[in-house]
Every structure is written in structure tokens, then in C-alpha cells.
């Protein structure tokens, strides 16, 4: 039966296939958040592709955009270069990144992290005073949580002259039994995007590895249309 939903999915499938198959690598398929996404970038969303910084940052932009709507927690997302700069140059090195922004006025801060060949996600929940680390390969990131807490302390002191009380904060690396895990070497970027998607809606994380092929195709559509489904 060709319900409106089925017709929509068919159109979506055609569009996604066209994005992968036709045209030149440098064709621009989407532009927003001061980012330009080319066909070459979009092709990292093909099965087993490695998501690149542009795709990750664009998707984070979509999540932040959605969070401005009624009924969503207020979300701030750092870009994928923030954490490596912070860990090499401490607060001084990233002080200007939040110029004109009070990150403490948000509910949730997303920090996508690129560890050489692996994507992970750190989430600060300012409502709960928690810092949680999400790794779809199950590695712990306690030192990463600590680095970000130290950053928050310095940012708070510098930007609003308020001392954070570190002892009030809970830092936690999510265990393999708490969050879904990937069973290949390619899907970490998609896991990070979907962790961020569910968290930025205050939803429990219930997807699995099996959803990845669908999530990849959905993300192509969402990036091209600059809207989350």
C-alpha cells in the first residue's frame, strides 16, 4: 500500500541514492552553520564509511537548532576540534571559543571527541551537574571528564565570576551494559551523533548496532534538507 509515509520513504531513498551516486565529489549539497558539505563529505555516510568532521559538526548544528524549539532542553555543542585544543592548550587555548556565549545558560553541553581514529561523546548536564562519557567501544574516559570539569571551573570563574564546587559534580564513563556498543570499526561517528540526538531530547538510548544502516541514510536526508526527522 502506498501510504503517504511509504511514498515519503521511497522519495527519501531515491534522494539518498542520488546523493551517493551522481555528480562530482566537490558538489555542494548543503550549507549552514558556517559549514559547507560536499558530496565527498556526504559519501562518508555510505555503509562502513568513516564520518568526517564536517558531517559531525553539521549534525551537531542540527541538534542545537532543534533545541531552540519549545519542549526541548537548551543545547550547546562544541565542535570536534575543541577537545584536542583544550587537552593540548588548556583553558587559555580555547578561551575565545565561547566569546559572547554563556555556556552555563544551557541545559546540556555536547562535546564530540576525536581520538585519532575513533569518535566518542562527552555530555555535560548542567541541570544534574553530571559529566558523562559515551564510548561505543566501551573504553573509559575518566580523565576526559576531569579535563572538561576543570575547563568548566575556569570558564565559570572567568566568564561569570562564580566558583563551581567540583564536589557537587558526578563524573561517569558509561559502561558497556549501559549504552549500545558497535560491533565493527566504522560506526563510531554514527553512534556519537545518535547518542547526542537521544540525549538532546531527554530520551533513553534504546537503539542498537542494527539501526546503523538506516541512521546513516536518514542522516544524509537530514543534512541535505537541514532538518531532523
| pLDDT value of residue 40 | 94
Q: Taking residues 21-37, report their average pLDDT.
A: 91
Marked catalytic residue, from 41, 135, 187, 197:
135
Considering the chain, what is the average pLDDT of its residues?
A: 93
Marked catalytic residue, from 91, 118, 172, 211:
118
CATH homologous superfamily of 4-225: Adenoviral Proteinase; Chain A (3.40.395.10)
118 is catalytic: yes
Tell me the pLDDT tens digit for each residue of 143-189: 999 999 999 999 999 989 999 999 999 999 999 999 999 998 899 99
| pLDDT value of residue 117 | 87
pLDDT surpasses 80 at 2: no
Q: Taking residues 210-222, report their average pLDDT.
A: 94
| pLDDT value of residue 151 | 96
Marked catalytic residue, from 145, 187, 188, 197:
188
188 is catalytic: yes
225 is catalytic: no
28 and 36 in contact (C-beta within 8 Å)?
yes
pLDDT surpasses 90 at 3: no
Q: What percent of the chain has pLDDT over 70?
A: 100
Q: Taking residues 27-43, report their average pLDDT.
A: 93
Q: Taking residues 15-32, report their average pLDDT.
A: 90
Comparing 12-16, 41-45, 50-54, 206-210, the range with the smallest average pLDDT is: 12-16
| pLDDT value of residue 1 | 62
Tell me the pLDDT tens digit for each residue of 111-126: 999 988 899 999 999 9
Tell me the pLDDT tens digit for each residue of 72-110: 999 999 999 999 999 999 899 999 999 989 999 999 999
Amino acid at each position: 500500500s502506498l501510504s503517504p509515509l511509504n511514498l515519503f520513504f521511497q522519495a527519501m531513498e531515491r534522494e539518498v541514492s542520488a546523493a551517493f551516486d551522481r555528480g562530482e565529489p566537490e558538489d555542494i549539497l548543503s550549507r549552514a552553520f558556517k559549514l559547507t558539505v560536499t558530496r565527498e563529505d556526504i559519501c562518508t555516510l555510505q555503509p562502513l564509511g568513516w564520518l568526517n568532521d564536517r558531517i559531525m559538526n553539521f549534525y551537531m548544528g542540527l541538534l542545537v537548532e532543534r533545541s531552540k524549539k519549545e519542549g526541548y532542553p537548551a543545547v550547546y555543542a562544541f565542535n570536534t576540534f575543541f577537545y584536542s585544543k583544550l587537552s593540548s592548550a588548556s583553558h587559555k587555548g580555547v578561551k575565545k571559543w565561547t566569546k559572547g556565549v554563556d555556556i552555563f545558560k544551557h541545559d546540556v553541553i555536547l562535546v564530540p571527541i576525536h581520538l585519532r581514529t575513533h569518535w566518542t561523546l562527552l555530555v555535560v548536564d548542567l541541570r544534574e551537574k553530571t559529566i558523562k562519557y559515551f564510548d561505543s567501544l566501551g573504553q573509559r574516559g575518566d580523565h576526559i571528564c576531569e579535563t572538561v570539569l576543570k575547563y568548566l571551573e575556569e570558564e565559570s570563574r572567568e566568564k561569570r565570576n562564580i566558583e563551581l564546587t567540583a564536589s557537587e559534580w558526578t563524573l561517569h564513563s558509561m559502561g558497556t551494559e549501559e549504552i549500545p556498543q558497535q560491533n565493527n570499526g566504522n560506526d563510531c561517528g554514527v553512534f556519537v551523533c545518535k547518542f547526542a540526538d537521544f540525549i538532546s531530547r531527554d530520551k533513553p538510548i534504546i537503539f542498537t548496532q542494527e539501526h546503523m544502516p538506516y541512521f546513516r541514510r536518514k542522516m544524509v536526508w537530514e543534512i541535505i534538507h537541514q532538518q531532523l526527522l
